Chain A
Amino acid sequence: MQPIAGRPQIMLAHAVAVLLFGPTVALFVLGVVGTALTPLGIGVLLLLVVVPATRLLATGQRSMAQEILQRPIVQDYLGTQGLGPIARVQRWAKDPARWRDLLWELSSITVGFTLSVLSLALFLYPLWSIVWFGLWKGLPDVFDDPYGMHITTTGQAVATSAAGAVVGALVWWFTVQPIARWRFGLDAFLLGLSRQAVLARRVREVTTSRAQGADAAAAELRRIERDLHDGAQARLVALGMNLGLAAELIEKDPEAARELLVEARDNSGDALQDIRSVVRGIHPPVLADRGLADAIRAVAVDLPIDFELDLRPPAVSAPLESAIYFGVAECLANMGKHSRATSGWVSLVVHDDRIHIEVGDNGVGGADPAGSGLRGVAGRLAVFDGTMDVSSPTGGPTIVTMEVPCG
């Protein structure tokens, strides 16, 4: 048996579906009229309003059906970015998803609506049965003939009312979930992709994320190579030069040799510093020693910002841990560099087998998710089916949310 939402949720969904009956009829009629009138031009104008509104309605229904049936229902629409009005309508005409939206409207205002109303009626019947008793008490002449019976005594009325309420409640109780399955199953069938299309889409996603991951890893290696080349290696070469020259001068000009040696000592310290920072960039010692929570804490401690930290990381694989760490570290580094924030927060909690991470601050905002750093984070997370979302209006606050399955 497929899982299904609880009864209260189902009833709520039916109620919403019934309330949407009017708009759905209107949109369906306007959609059909617009399509018919397209050659006249007026139809195009109509469709430019109706089609997006239809998609909005369908999306709402999709998420409702998703809640009830507890399985993902997704749909791919053809993109229409950058198209003029005529081209846009032509694109819609070619898009099966749009036609299926229209078909769904038809099914929703007929079969779907009927099923929803039936379920709601069954739900209300026991109440009606009790109300009927009150009505019978008040107006026995009018309400004394339910179902062809003739009720004359209070005892009979109580029995009838109770029987109606109990039987009605039982019928509702046992039919509510099957009806919901039919109603929302039909919606899902019309509004969602077929299994095969879902799989194809998943393969596309995986391919993209794999490429992103490979890119991120390659970029990372290039960065490390460059850091070493321009940092520690160059410093060590300079150190050698100084020492070589000092060795030559030690007899002739001991004072100059001494200066060179002091410079060489400073150079060696700097080279070590460079190597340390590269190592930190590869795998931070704190992460290796103490795990994710303390590693994030260690980064936050170094910033002149008051942090509220709620870190409850689960046990995850080392690669995922590292991806999360660098994601958070990148956000915190940006915060330190650009945000001018005085306070910030990091939360990392597990909910429904997914890790939810939020990094925010009260700074000036304007963070660019297309910047190389954040893009790299998104690429790294994508490998683990994770997502990243950046909200950073000018004036702040900046909130970066990351989500990734526990793996």
Chain B
Amino acid sequence: MRVVIGEDHALLRDGLERILRAHDVEVVATADNAPSLVKALREHAPDIAIVDVRMPPTLTDEGLRVAIEARRERPAFPVLVLSQYVENLYARELLEDGAGGVGYLLKDRVSDVGAFVQAVHQVADGGTVLDPEVVRHLIARRPQGSRMDRLTDREREVLGLMAEGCSNAAIAASLFVTEKAISKHTNAIFSKLDLPVSADDNRRVLAVLAYLND
């Protein structure tokens, strides 16, 4: 797997590189500002970009905008966005095109090296990985009369874990039930949210998006 990293903080750039190399992921280029990140993405056409939200020159949401722009140029281009803060708004903007291949994590999650590398692989394979922090937020504020109200508590729990990027097997493990039970839950979720029948992966993304848009 070939990766481009966009991160302006040298300390963190080196840390990410070190972790990825230790797990046989090839870092083909790094960039410390938005313009050079754009250039690197065009030049190397990596399998995935790992991008910090806040980058020079403006130190605002430069990285996020580069990521969204890159996905416009190459639909479904996998992007994993890292940030010191997670904002639902940003998560929604990233997922808006419904194509999957999106990750949005707090930088702290990188310290769980195994889980982080797994998330990189998942996003590169077209999955969606949202930070538990985002998911927690969403569960905390659910407007009345939303589609989410149709779900049972258990189904909401499953959807939350889905948003965090867990596979059915992983959800089953963390809820101490069989994978078959989880399959039933996910199907119930898809139908209650009026999601069209399509590839399972894509439906998962749409479910998460419905969850975010609520």
Pair A237/B108 contact, Cβ less than 8 Å: yes
A230 cross-chain contacts in B, Cβ below 8 A? 9
Classify the interface of chain A: helix, strand, loop or mixed.
Answer: helix
Which of B16-24, B43-51, B120-128 lies at the interface with chain A?
B16-24
Q: Does residue A241 face the partner (Cβ distance < 8 Å to B)?
A: yes
Distance between A204 CB and nearest chain B CB, rounded to angstroms: 34
Q: Chain B interface: which size bin?
A: 10 to 19
Complex: how many Å from CA A212 to CA B100?
Answer: 47
Which of B109-117, B130-138, B197-205 lies at the interface with chain A?
B109-117
Known A237-B110, A241-B111; contact A249-B22, beta-carbon cutoff 8 A: yes
Q: Does residue B15 face the partner (Cβ distance < 8 Å to A)?
A: yes
Pair B12/A243 contact, Cβ less than 8 Å: no
Distance between A261 CB and nearest chain B CB, rounded to angstroms: 13
- Quick one: which of B67-103 are within 8 Å of A by CB? 84
- Quick one: which of B1-58 are within 8 Å of A by CB? 9, 11-12, 15-16, 18-19, 22, 54
Pair B11/A234 contact, Cβ less than 8 Å: yes
Pair B18/A245 contact, Cβ less than 8 Å: yes
Distance between A151 CB and nearest chain B CB, rounded to angstroms: 95
Pair A229/B84 contact, Cβ less than 8 Å: yes
Pair A243/B11 contact, Cβ less than 8 Å: no
**Nearest-neighbor residue (CB-CB) of A233 within chain B:** B84
Complex: how many Å from CA A364 to CA B196?
Answer: 74
Q: Does residue A248 face the partner (Cβ distance < 8 Å to B)?
A: yes
The interface bits of chain A over 224-235 (1 if a CB of B lies within 8 angstroms of the residue's CB, else 0) are 001001100111
**The residue from A226, A229, A244 contacting B19, defined by CB atoms under 8 A apart:** A244
Complex: how many Å from CA A230 to CA B19?
Answer: 21
Pair A245/B19 contact, Cβ less than 8 Å: yes
The interface bits of chain A over 369-401 (1 if a CB of B lies within 8 angstroms of the residue's CB, else 0) are 000000000000000000000000000000000
Pair B114/A237 contact, Cβ less than 8 Å: no
**Nearest-neighbor residue (CB-CB) of B52 within chain A:** A234
Q: Does residue A240 face the partner (Cβ distance < 8 Å to B)?
A: yes
Classify the interface of chain B: helix, strand, loop or mixed.
Answer: helix
A244 cross-chain contacts in B, Cβ below 8 A? 19, 110-113, 116
B9 cross-chain contacts in A, Cβ below 8 A? 230, 234, 238
Complex: how many Å from CA A249 to CA B18?
Answer: 12
**The residue from B12, B16, B114 contacting A234, defined by CB atoms under 8 A apart:** B12
For chain A, the count of residues having a C-beta within 8 Å of the partner chain is: 20
B12 cross-chain contacts in A, Cβ below 8 A? 234, 237-238, 241
Output the residue of B11, B84, B107, B114 with the most chain A CB within 10 A. Answer: B11
**Nearest-neighbor residue (CB-CB) of A241 within chain B:** B15
Known A229-B54, A248-B22; contact A240-B111, beta-carbon cutoff 8 A: yes
Q: Does residue A48 face the partner (Cβ distance < 8 Å to B)?
A: no
Distance between B151 CB and nearest chain A CB, rounded to angstroms: 34
Distance between A149 CB and nearest chain B CB, rounded to angstroms: 94
Complex: how many Å from CA A244 to CA B22?
Answer: 12
B113 cross-chain contacts in A, Cβ below 8 A? 241, 244-245, 247-248
Distance between A260 CB and nearest chain B CB, rounded to angstroms: 9
Complex: how many Å from CA A267 to CA B111?
Answer: 14
- Quick one: which of A243-271 are within 8 Å of B by CB? 243-245, 247-249, 267
**The residue from B54, B110, B114 contacting A248, defined by CB atoms under 8 A apart:** B114
Q: Does residue B170 face the partner (Cβ distance < 8 Å to A)?
A: no
Q: Does residue A242 face the partner (Cβ distance < 8 Å to B)?
A: yes
Pair B18/A237 contact, Cβ less than 8 Å: no
Pair B22/A245 contact, Cβ less than 8 Å: yes
Complex: how many Å from CA A234 to CA B53?
Answer: 13
Given A236-B108, A244-B19, A248-B114, 12 extra CB contacts under 8 A:
A229-B54, A230-B9, A237-B12, A237-B15, A237-B107, A237-B108, A238-B12, A238-B15, A241-B12, A244-B113, A245-B15, A245-B19
A–B pairs, 10, beta carbons within 8 Å: A230-B9, A233-B84, A237-B107, A237-B108, A237-B110, A239-B111, A240-B108, A241-B113, A244-B113, A245-B18
